[in-house]
């Protein structure tokens, strides 16, 4: 069976990259044991790469009312709606690891309404999908539904902004047909494997 390449566009060699990109990529490689393909595929454009990961980290690494597992659930649910292979597979691994639940990522990717989630988490994903798919109709009633589940306005910004950022990310990955690394598929599924 054929195996697709990493990207439709040229993928720079690590050694050819600006020092700051290389440093960050080597750090990730150290931690994960491999270089996730998105780091290489987007490096085709260093200025865009820097903005992309700065934005990503500002949203995904911060503290706040949403746990890191919940932030990753937003990514998986909205990326599945956008049919983005890279993001569903890569962030599915992060959902499994951060939630310590090997089933949750696949459940959320197919149909979060039937996943093992709390009512609060389903409300979070209802809103994330509304921002992802029909942001023009977001209304005060949506904010009220989230506040009723205990979310603060800062949390609502986070939910919406993560959905918005991955609207960008999913489109880039689909544009370039970025291939998820083989390593992601098994991460977080086998307890001791980590």
161 Ramachandran zone, left/alpha/beta (phi>0; psi -120 to 50): alpha
141 binds a second copy (CB under 8 A): no
From 109, 124, 125, 146, residue interacting with a second copy (rule: CB under 8 A): 109
Whole-number Å distance between alpha carbons of 175 and 161: 21
From 13, 31, 33, 54, residue interacting with a second copy (rule: CB under 8 A): 54
Least Å distance, CB 164 to a second copy, is 4
Q: Would you give the DSSP letter of residue 33?
A: S
Least Å distance, CB 71 to a second copy, is 14
Whole-number Å distance between alpha carbons of 124 and 128: 6
How big is the site for a second copy, counted in residues (CB under 8 A)?
72
20 binds a second copy (CB under 8 A): no
From 40, 43, 129, 160, residue interacting with a second copy (rule: CB under 8 A): 160
51 binds a second copy (CB under 8 A): yes
27 binds a second copy (CB under 8 A): no
Angle at 189 between CA 14 and CA 105, to 5 degrees: 85
136 binds a second copy (CB under 8 A): yes
From 14, 85, 145, 149, residue interacting with a second copy (rule: CB under 8 A): 85
Nearest-CA neighbor of 122 among 106, 102, 98, 146? 146
Phi, psi of 128, deg, nearest 5: -60, -40
Element (H, E) at 87: helix 85-99
Q: Based on CB atoms, which residue is closest to a second copy, 23 or 171?
A: 171
Least Å distance, CB 15 to a second copy, is 22
Query: Are the beta carbons of 41 and 176 closer than 8 angstroms?
Result: yes
48 binds a second copy (CB under 8 A): yes
Query: Are the beta carbons of 76 and 92 closer than 8 angstroms?
Result: yes
153 binds a second copy (CB under 8 A): yes
Angle at 129 between CA 123 and CA 134, to 5 degrees: 125
Which window, 12-20, 25-33, 80-88, 144-152, contacts a second copy (CB under 8 A)? 80-88
């Amino acid at each position: 069976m054929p195996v697709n390449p990493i990207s439709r566009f040229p993928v720079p060699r690590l050694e050819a990259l600006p020092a700051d990109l290389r440093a960050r990529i080597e750090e990730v490689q150290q931690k994960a044991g491999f270089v996730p393909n998105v780091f290489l595929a987007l490096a085709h454009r260093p200025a865009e790469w820097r903005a992309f990961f700065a934005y990503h980290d500002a949203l995904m690494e911060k503290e706040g009312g949403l746990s890191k597992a919940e932030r990753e659930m937003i990514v998986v649910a909205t990326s599945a709606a956008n049919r983005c292979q890279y993001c569903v597979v890569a962030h599915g691994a992060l959902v499994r690891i951060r939630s310590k639940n090997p089933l949750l990522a696949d459940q959320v990717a197919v149909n979060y309404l039937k996943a093992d989630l709390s009512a609060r988490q389903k409300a979070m994903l209802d809103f994330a999908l509304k921002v992802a798919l029909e942001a023009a109709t977001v209304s005060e009633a949506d904010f009220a539904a989230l506040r009723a589940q205990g979310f603060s306005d800062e949390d609502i910004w986070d939910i919406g902004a993560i959905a918005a950022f991955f609207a960008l990310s999913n489109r880039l990955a689909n544009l370039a047909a970025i291939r998820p690394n083989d390593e992601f598929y098994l991460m977080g599924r086998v307890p001791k494997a980590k």
